[in-house]
């Protein structure tokens, strides 16, 4: 590879995306790896980072990334399909590569090598690269706050001179990183919280946060080797919907976070159930970008159904862009530490992390559809 490595920090083209892939604090550490850093003008503004902060950290501010860039970092590099891509470069980004065939065409036509940040393997050595977890934790926290501000009630038990007001009841569906953070946040705010997951192993984590754990009868192999929930059979899905309905109707707010990597989110809340919920109830469907856990969810909108508000947030992590950018930047730096050696890019496909994350190599696809 080239003796000099140039990293370009892309300004996000999605108008709803406030995060930036590299924060000023990490620029110096990246330079210490032997990498020169370019940042597109205004790349960090929506996240709360000025061009001056990047310049003071050693980065060069440019209107557009120069053609000598070896590595491009981004949150979503493929939002605008007509963007100019630097041929033969490496791209580090979150993607929807399994479901978006246009990404394959872009990588092939520009001979790109793509590191997909959602393909970080679930091994101990890769934890500091785990962008899905870092962003999901922020989304779960934000969802808890959204539930609190959307309800027309207190979350905690309130004892007043006029009498005692009982705590709100929160039901969290799915106990992955986002779900556990939503449980922890609403519990800290004083709500009565119940957590549901088909993985029985999640029960201990839910209960450790002070919440009640519920789960229906599920197959013993309900999770993958990596710890993710498996897609359920139609019979199991029907049983799941019936089991959850009573708990949903009793809840003041439901935060749904269930997702299956690479697939459409499972339906856990039918529209008929939404119509039976108590007036003033709230649903926060974190899984809206992957189809939603609620049949009524509309991505990017908050709708009213018989007095119940259904939120379909498009990007909760982006709403906390300052801190979300910090952890994502650390995730990318963790990858750079692996692929940069002696001021050059060194790709070792024998490395388990590199092998899992490098989904395109010189325009050639390395993963199955």
| pLDDT reported for residue 224 | 54
Active site residue 51: no
Any idea which residue has 């905690």 for tokens? 156
Tens of pLDDT, residue by residue, the chain (369 residues): 445 899 999 999 999 999 999 999 999 999 999 999 999 999 999 999 999 999 999 999 999 999 999 999 999 999 987 788 999 999 999 998 887 889 999 999 999 999 999 999 999 999 999 999 999 999 999 999 999 999 999 999 999 999 999 999 999 999 999 999 999 999 999 999 999 999 888 999 999 999 999 998 765 555 555 555 556 677 788 999 999 999 999 999 999 999 887 788 999 999 999 999 999 999 999 999 999 999 999 999 999 999 999 999 999 999 999 999 999 999 999 999 999 999 999 999 999 999 999 999 999 999 986
Can you say how many angstroms the Cα of residue 248 is from the centroid of all Cα atoms in its chain?
A: 24
Reported as type and span, the H/E element at residue 165 is strand 163-165
- Please report which residue ranges of the chain form alpha helices under DSSP H: 24-32, 51-56, 101-109, 131-150, 177-188, 202-208, 234-250, 271-276, 321-339, 352-357
Considering 16, 50, 127, 233, which one is annotated as catalytic? Answer: 127
> Can you read off the two tokens belonging to residue 140?
């779960």
Q: What angle do CA 120, 287, 129 make, to 5 degrees?
A: 20
Task: Identify whether the C-beta of residue 197 lies closer than 8 Å to the C-beta of residue 156.
Answer: no
Burial track 67-93 (b if 16+ CB lie within 10 A, e otherwise): eebbbbbbbbbbbeeeeebbeebbbbb
Q: How far apart are CA 74 and CA 10, in angstroms?
A: 6
Reported as type and span, the H/E element at residue 256 is strand 253-256
| pLDDT reported for residue 2 | 46
Active site residue 328: no
Closest CA to 73 of 22, 112, 127, 6: 22
Closest CA to 172 of 156, 191, 152: 191
All structural domains of the chain: 5-119+324-362 (3.40.50.720), 136-315 (3.40.50.720)
Considering 14, 29, 96, 228, which one is annotated as catalytic? Answer: 228
Active site residue 130: yes
> Can you read off the two tokens belonging to residue 138?
């922020």
Active site residue 285: no
| pLDDT reported for residue 129 | 98
| pLDDT reported for residue 1 | 43
Active site residue 199: no
pTM: 0.92
Q: How far apart are CA 86 and CA 95, in angstroms?
A: 17
Q: How far apart are CA 117 and CA 337, in angstroms?
A: 15
Q: How far apart are CA 140 and CA 180, in angstroms?
A: 7
Considering 26, 54, 130, 328, which one is annotated as catalytic? Answer: 130
Task: Identify whether the C-beta of residue 362 lies closer than 8 Å to the C-beta of residue 88.
Answer: yes
What strands, in cross-sheet order, belong to the sheet with 364-365?
60-62, 35-40, 5-9, 71-73, 90-93, 113-116, 358-361, 364-365
């Amino acid at each position: 590879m080239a003796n000099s490595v140039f990293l370009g920090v892309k300004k996000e083209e999605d108008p709803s995306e406030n995060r930036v892939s590299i924060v000023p604090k990490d620029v110096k550490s990246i330079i210490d790896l032997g990498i020169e850093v370019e940042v597109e003008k205004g790349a960090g503004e929506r996240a709360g980072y000025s061009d001056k902060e990047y310049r003071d950290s050693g980065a060069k501010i440019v209107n557009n990334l120069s053609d000598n860039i070896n590595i491009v970092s981004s949150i979503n590099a493929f939002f605008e399909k007509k963007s100019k891509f630097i041929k033969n470069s490496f791209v580090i980004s979150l993607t929807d590569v399994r479901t978006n065939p246009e990404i394959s065409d872009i990588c092939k036509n520009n001979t790109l090598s793509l590191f997909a940040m959602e393909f970080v393997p679930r091994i101990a050595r890769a934890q500091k690269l785990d962008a899905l977890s870092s962003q999901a934790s922020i989304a779960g926290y934000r969802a808890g706050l959204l539930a609190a501000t959307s309800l027309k009630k207190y979350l905690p038990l309130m004892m007043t001179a006029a009498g005692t007001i009982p705590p709100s009841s929160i039901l969290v569906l799915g106990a992955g990183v986002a779900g556990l953070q939503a449980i922890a946040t609403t519990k800290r705010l004083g709500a009565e919280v119940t957590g549901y997951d088909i993985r029985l192993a999640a029960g201990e984590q839910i209960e450790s946060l002070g919440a009640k754990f519920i789960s229906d009868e599920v197959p013993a192999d309900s999770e993958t080797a990596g710890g993710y929930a498996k897609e359920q059979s139609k019979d199991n899905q029907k049983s799941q919907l019936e089991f959850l309905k009573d708990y949903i109707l009793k809840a003041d707010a439901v935060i749904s976070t269930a997702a299956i990597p690479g697939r459409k989110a499972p339906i856990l809340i039918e529209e008929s159930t939404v119509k039976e919920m108590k007036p003033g109830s709230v649903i926060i469907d974190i899984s809206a970008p992957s189809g939603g856990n609620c049949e009524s969810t509309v991505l990017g909108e908050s709708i009213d159904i018989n007095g119940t508000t259904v939120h379909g947030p498009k990007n909760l992590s982006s709403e906390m862009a300052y801190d979300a950018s910090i952890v994502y930047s650390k995730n990318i730096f963790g990858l750079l530490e692996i692929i940069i050696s002696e001021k050059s890019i060194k790709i070792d496909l024998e490395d388990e992390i590199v092998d899992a994350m490098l989904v395109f190599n010189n325009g050639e696809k390395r993963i199955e559809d």
